[in-house]
Amino acid sequence: MYCIRLHGRGGQGMKTASRILGSAFFEEGFEVQDAPRYGAERRGAPIFAYVRAARRPILERGIIRRPDLVVVADETLVPVSAAGVVQGVGPYTVLLIHSAEAPAVWKRRLKLGGEVFTLPVAPEDRADVPLIGASCAGAAARLVGEISRDALEEAIRSELVGMRAEVVAENLERALGAYDRLAPHAGCVREGDAEGVGPFESPDWIDLPFEDARISAPDIHAGGTSVQVRTGLWRTMRPLIDLEHCHRCAWVCSTFCPDGAIRVDDAGAPQIDYDHCKGCLVCVAVCPPHAIHAIPEEQAADAAAAENAA
Amino acid sequence: MTRTLLTGNAAAAWGARLARAEYVPAFPITPQTEIIEKLGGWIDAGEMDGRMVTLESEHSMITAAGAAAAAGVRVFSATSSQGLLYGMEMIYTVAGWRAPFVLVNVSRGLATPLTLESDHNDVLAARDSGFLQIHCSTCQEVLDSVLIAYRLAEDARVRLPVIVNLDGFYLSFTREPVAIPDPETARRFLPPPDPERAHFRASRPISQAVAVLGGGPYSYFRYEIHRAAQNALSVYGEVADAFAAAFGRSHGLFESYRTDDAEIVFFMMGSFATKAKAAVDCLRADGWSAGLLRPRLLRPYPDAEIAAALAGTRGVAVVDQNLSIGKGGVLYTELASALAARRDASPVLVSFIGGLGGRDIGAEEFFEMAAVTRKAAQEGRAPEPRLLYTATELREMRKLQSIALRERHQIGEIPPARRASARPEREERP
């Protein structure tokens, strides 16, 4: 059974990558299980997905503890311990990582025994461009060596059904490009050995002691902790207030904002707290003179970069 | 019949589509929402006949479901966890209406603390309601069970609503190969609902769910629900046989996996049971005589059939993915009562609580449970119930607690003198 774990950030297309891989394996006649894992967070939060593929029915479930291939879409996740990128990585585990640094650097840095491959970071790549997922899926398909170019293409078309033709074409180009680039390494991922019982390490079960409710109830006692959570990272659209058209009504947008992320200064001008605005765009809908509009977050990032450069 | 990759949620939606559900009252909740999204998409695109209505709560959703079912409409709905509990008043109520419909529950642990991941305390809260319960362990079983559930619910000998349960994440968001039956075979297996059975019609007001005072009528009506649920045992057998004949897949009252000569049997339900099968295969490969018994039908509970299936078994590891606070595992209690009526030597039952809030159960834990159970069977004495919880997990917990303590210290809630005594004691390694 092949056990593949994919790590990325919400929005980078890792769930789609896992589905592309899963469908491609299925296309080749494998039994497949694929699933994403995430919490309540959305864009930007570490997520992972996994794919199991075997020539027999798959009984195993849940987290892959000993992966044969680890795919990392975002190298900034490696030092994040909660992301668990190197968890269970063994001497034969192959690592595929999106990075400008050389494979040897990663091999040394993470003390890896298995092979390491890097996918170059394209200049147009940004954390929120899901094309990263396509190249990850294409490269992983080739490294496994069981998936034909046609099966990969078919899987991408079926997973992206309903998307615009140019989006599908772009994804295909990325995935097949990565697939072709890794041709010399086709089949370097080994199927994990079937596990018998053998000499297994007993789980270190313990008896939970009673503890006072002051300790054992899940309370947060300090106030205002939500301020520390930058939910603004979830935003895909950024509301912008045109102060020239704002009537200084002083209450509509700030009152309707469900996150309390708009405050009004002494002159009556509203200001958006972008650290906590989730981009729901309620303010855009309710502003009486239509003085608030929204732009995609990536455009805002471009504009900010241009401003800095200037 | 097409075999394709589907999530458990998509499989549930396919079940409703192939059952030709006509009315879908809906309210979103993680991890169930994809079911409603799928059905909404199909209805919107004209690929499925039917009407979806979004209600303002699960309480209203289940009321609407029961009312439409009483009017003879084929109804499908889905919920999870807190949503099921929010609708709990009506869960009991509509079962008493004898209104047959199918409600999919995607299991998710209950607050407090709030979580998104799976365990069975949510669906077990509806255990005594009069809804029948079918528990699934694969995405294929989810689709098949929805079809089976309609035929069971609508049978004149039963006439009760059915919950089909699948685990959040482990099935709801997990894709597996699923054979989608062709619509014509599904139609032959599950004909349209019998219009004769509808007793609630527009412009013909009747009072359903009357009040009674005095325990006599109350006892009668409640016990009739119980009788109908008991009937469901034999009706289920017929339905499962018809299903196997139509689709070639067998879904019995419970699943027996390599139990025939097994000395040690895992007894558990839900998606983690497939992990137990993997463990059984490993144990068998090493010469252990192990198996798995997985209840599918939890209500009605097939006491006699389960007891018979465990004849000859020496030890049973009951793995409960639930916790009846102040008592222990629900499956353990139910199995003990099923075996209590037997005169012959009963197996030794060992109670394990595992998988709460989606906590994984590792292969080595299955092996250890088998070892503990074998020892218990040899000694004829079961150890204390065991929570699957490791010293490593408690150490992680201690890290969180140290953050909480530091926070309370910083805000001056715990003065330094009391802080020492309030600090949790260090755990002892066994």
B429 belongs to a structural domain:
no
Q: Do both A162 and A104 map to the same domain? A: yes
CA angle B97, B99, B104 (to 5 degrees): 120
Residue A19 contacts B, CB cutoff 8 Å: yes
Residue B164 structural domain? 2-195+208-247
Q: Do both B59 and B156 map to the same domain? A: yes
Cα–Cα distance measured from residue B409 to residue A300, given in angstroms and rounded to the nearest whole number: 41
Residue B24 contacts A, CB cutoff 8 Å: no
A203, B275: Cβ pair inside 8 Å?
no
A166 belongs to a structural domain:
yes
Residue B281 contacts A, CB cutoff 8 Å: yes
Picking from A26, A198, A203, the nearest residue to B177 by CB comes out as A26
**What is the CATH number for A107?**
3.40.920.10
Chain B CA closest to residue A205 = B390
A196, B282: Cβ pair inside 8 Å?
yes
Please list every residue in chain A whose beta carbon sits closer than 8 Å to the beta carbon of residue B283: 197
Q: What are phi and psi of B53, to 5 degrees?
A: -130, 130
A19 belongs to a structural domain:
yes
Q: What are phi and psi of B187, to 5 degrees?
A: -65, -40
A197 belongs to a structural domain:
no
A93 belongs to a structural domain:
yes
Q: Do both A164 and A265 map to the same domain? A: no
Tell me the pTM. 0.91
B275, A208: Cβ pair inside 8 Å?
no
Q: Do both B10 and B124 map to the same domain? A: yes
B430 belongs to a structural domain:
no
Q: Tell me, what's the pLDDT at A304? A: 78
Cα–Cα distance measured from residue B349 to residue B376, given in angstroms and rounded to the nearest whole number: 8
Residues B112-139: tens digit of each pLDDT:
999 999 999 999 999 999 999 999 999 9
Instruction: Please report the DSSP string for A227-263 in residue order.
Output: GGS-GGGG-SEEEEE-TTT----SSHHHHH-TT--EE
Picking from A22, A35, A214, the nearest residue to B422 by CB comes out as A214
**What is the CATH number for B307?**
3.40.50.920
Q: Tell me, what's the pLDDT at A195? A: 56
Burial class (CB in 10 A: 0-12, 13-18, 19+), B198: middle
Residue B421 contacts A, CB cutoff 8 Å: no
Closest residue by Cα to residue B232 from B357, B111, B134, B123: B134
B203 belongs to a structural domain:
no
Q: Are B26 and B78 in contact (CB under 8 A)?
A: yes
A65, B277: Cβ pair inside 8 Å?
no
Q: Do both A176 and A242 map to the same domain? A: no
Residue B199 contacts A, CB cutoff 8 Å: no
* Domain termination residue (choose one: A165, A185, A205): A185
For chain B, the straight-line distance linking the first and the last C-alpha, in angstroms and rounded, comes to 54
Q: Do both B344 and B400 map to the same domain? A: no
Q: Which long-range contacts (CB under 8 A, 24 or more apart) does B226-230 make?
A: B228/B98, B228/B157, B228/B158, B228/B159, B228/B160, B229/B130, B229/B132, B229/B158, B229/B160, B229/B299, B229/B300, B230/B300
Q: Do both A34 and A165 map to the same domain? A: yes
Residue A40 contacts B, CB cutoff 8 Å: yes
| Pairing of β A94-98 and β A69-72 | parallel
Please list every residue in chain A whose beta carbon sits closer than 8 Å to the beta carbon of residue B411: 221-223
Helix (H, G, I), strand (E, B) or coil at A271: strand
Picking from A197, A206, A222, the nearest residue to B411 by CB comes out as A222
Q: Do both B213 and B288 map to the same domain? A: no
A22, B175: Cβ pair inside 8 Å?
yes
Tally A–B CB contacts below 8 A: 122
Q: Are B286 and A196 in contact (CB under 8 A)?
A: yes
Q: Do both A161 and A272 map to the same domain? A: no
Q: Do both B94 and B219 map to the same domain? A: yes
Residue B357 contacts A, CB cutoff 8 Å: no
Q: What is the dihedral of CA B294, B296, B300, B301, to 10 degrees?
A: 0
**What is the CATH number for A305?**
3.30.70.20
Q: Do both A178 and A239 map to the same domain? A: no
Tell me the shortest Cα–Cα distance from A89 to chain B, in angstroms: 17
Cα–Cα distance measured from residue B86 to residue B60, given in angstroms and rounded to the nearest whole number: 10
Q: Do both A155 and A12 map to the same domain? A: yes
Q: Tell me, what's the pLDDT at B429? A: 47
The more confidently predicted of residues A204 and B414 is: A204
Please list every residue in chain A whose beta carbon sits closer than 8 Å to the beta carbon of residue B170: 35, 61-62
Chain B CA closest to residue A27 = B4
Q: Do both A157 and A80 map to the same domain? A: yes
B283, A197: Cβ pair inside 8 Å?
yes
Residue A62 contacts B, CB cutoff 8 Å: yes
Q: Tell me, what's the pLDDT at B422? A: 45
A61, B170: Cβ pair inside 8 Å?
yes
ipTM for the predicted complex comes to 0.91
Q: Do both B378 and B396 map to the same domain? A: no
Q: Do both B351 and B242 map to the same domain? A: no
A34, B288: Cβ pair inside 8 Å?
no
Q: Spell out where B181-274 has E strands.
A: 254-257, 264-267
Q: Do both B57 and B177 map to the same domain? A: yes
Picking from A36, A204, A219, the nearest residue to B173 by CB comes out as A36
Contacts of A3 (CB under 8 A, 6+ apart): A50, A51, A52, A64, A66, A67, A68, A69, A192
Tell me the shortest Cα–Cα distance from B412 to chain A, in angstroms: 10
Fill in the amino acid letter for B214. G
User: For chain A, which ranges sit under pLDDT 50?
Assistant: 127-128
A203, B362: Cβ pair inside 8 Å?
yes
Residues A81-136: tens digit of each pLDDT:
888 999 999 999 999 999 989 999 999 999 999 999 999 876 555 544 668 899 99
Q: What are phi and psi of A51, to 5 degrees?
A: -135, 130
Chain B CA closest to residue A204 = B390
Q: Are A155 and A39 in contact (CB under 8 A)?
A: no
Q: Do both B92 and B112 map to the same domain? A: yes
Cα–Cα distance measured from residue B26 to residue B55, given in angstroms and rounded to the nearest whole number: 6
Residue A222 contacts B, CB cutoff 8 Å: yes
Q: Do both B266 and B356 map to the same domain? A: yes
Q: Do both A248 and A107 map to the same domain? A: no
Cα–Cα distance measured from residue A54 to residue B336, given in angstroms and rounded to the nearest whole number: 38
Q: Do both A171 and A242 map to the same domain? A: no
Q: Tell me, what's the pLDDT at A40? A: 67
Q: Do both A172 and A287 map to the same domain? A: no
B276 belongs to a structural domain:
yes
Q: Are A96 and A71 in contact (CB under 8 A)?
A: yes
* Contact residues, B window 391-420, toward A, CB-based 8 Å cutoff: 391-392, 394, 401, 404, 407-408, 410-411, 413
For chain A, the straight-line distance linking the first and the last C-alpha, in angstroms and rounded, comes to 54
Q: How many residues in total does chain A contain?
A: 310
Cα–Cα distance measured from residue A69 to residue B232, given in angstroms and rounded to the nearest whole number: 48
Please list every residue in chain B whose beta carbon sits closer than 8 Å to the beta carbon of residue A195: 282, 363
Contacts of A138 (CB under 8 A, 6+ apart): A152, A174, A175, A176, A177, A178, A179
Residues A46-87: tens digit of each pLDDT:
889 999 999 999 999 988 989 999 999 988 889 888 889 999
Q: Do both A6 and A124 map to the same domain? A: yes
B278, A208: Cβ pair inside 8 Å?
no
Q: Tell me, what's the pLDDT at A243? A: 95
What total of structural domains would you count in chain A? 2
Output DSSP code: residue B258.
S
β-sheet bridge partners, residue B324: B328
Residue with tokens 């007793």: B199
Average pLDDT, rounded, for chain B:
94
Please list every residue in chain A whose beta carbon sits closer than 8 Å to the beta carbon of residue B176: 32-33, 58
Residues B221-273: tens digit of each pLDDT:
999 999 999 999 999 999 999 999 999 999 999 999 999 999 999 999 999 99
A94 belongs to a structural domain:
yes
Q: How many residues in total does chain B contain?
A: 430
Cα–Cα distance measured from residue A100 to residue A109, given in angstroms and rounded to the nearest whole number: 14
* Contact residues, A window 178-217, toward B, CB-based 8 Å cutoff: 195-198, 200-209, 211-212, 214-215
A206, B391: Cβ pair inside 8 Å?
yes
Please list every residue in chain B whose beta carbon sits closer than 8 Å to the beta carbon of residue A205: 368, 386-391, 430
Q: Tell me, what's the pLDDT at B186? A: 98
Please list every residue in chain B whose beta carbon sits closer than 8 Å to the beta carbon of residue A82: none
Tokens of A76: 């900034």
Q: Tell me, what's the pLDDT at A309? A: 75
Q: Are A215 and A172 in contact (CB under 8 A)?
A: no
CA angle B356, B357, B358 (to 5 degrees): 90
What total of structural domains would you count in chain B? 3
Tell me the shortest Cα–Cα distance from B231 to chain A, in angstroms: 33
B34 belongs to a structural domain:
yes
Please list every residue in chain A whose beta carbon sits closer than 8 Å to the beta carbon of residue B271: 61
Q: Tell me, what's the pLDDT at B403? A: 86
A35, B174: Cβ pair inside 8 Å?
yes
Output DSSP code: residue B356.
G
| Pairing of β A292-296 and β A270-272 | unpaired
Tokens of A296: 């995609």
A211 belongs to a structural domain:
no
Tokens of A211: 């503890």
A210 belongs to a structural domain:
no
A203, B365: Cβ pair inside 8 Å?
yes
A196, B430: Cβ pair inside 8 Å?
no
B277 belongs to a structural domain:
yes
Q: Do both B416 and B295 map to the same domain? A: no
Q: Tell me, what's the pLDDT at A125? A: 54
**What is the CATH number for B169?**
3.40.50.970
Q: Do both B212 and B298 map to the same domain? A: no
Tokens of B301: 């509970």
Cα–Cα distance measured from residue B319 to residue B39, given in angstroms and rounded to the nearest whole number: 34
Element (H, E) at B318: strand B315-320
Q: Are A279 and A238 in contact (CB under 8 A)?
A: yes
Q: Spell out where A106-216 has E strands.
A: 116-119
B428 belongs to a structural domain:
no
Disruptive mutation site among A61, A87, A200, A216 for chain B (greatest number of B CBs within 10 Å): A61
Residue with tokens 């879904």: B251
Cα–Cα distance measured from residue B387 to residue B411, given in angstroms and rounded to the nearest whole number: 35
Chain A CA closest to residue B138 = A59
A208 belongs to a structural domain:
no
Cα–Cα distance measured from residue A259 to residue B408, given in angstroms and rounded to the nearest whole number: 26
Residue A157 structural domain? 2-185
Q: What are phi and psi of B272, to 5 degrees?
A: -65, -15
B128 belongs to a structural domain:
yes
A205, B368: Cβ pair inside 8 Å?
yes
Please list every residue in chain B whose beta carbon sits closer than 8 Å to the beta carbon of residue A55: none
Cα–Cα distance measured from residue A280 to residue A294, given in angstroms and rounded to the nearest whole number: 10
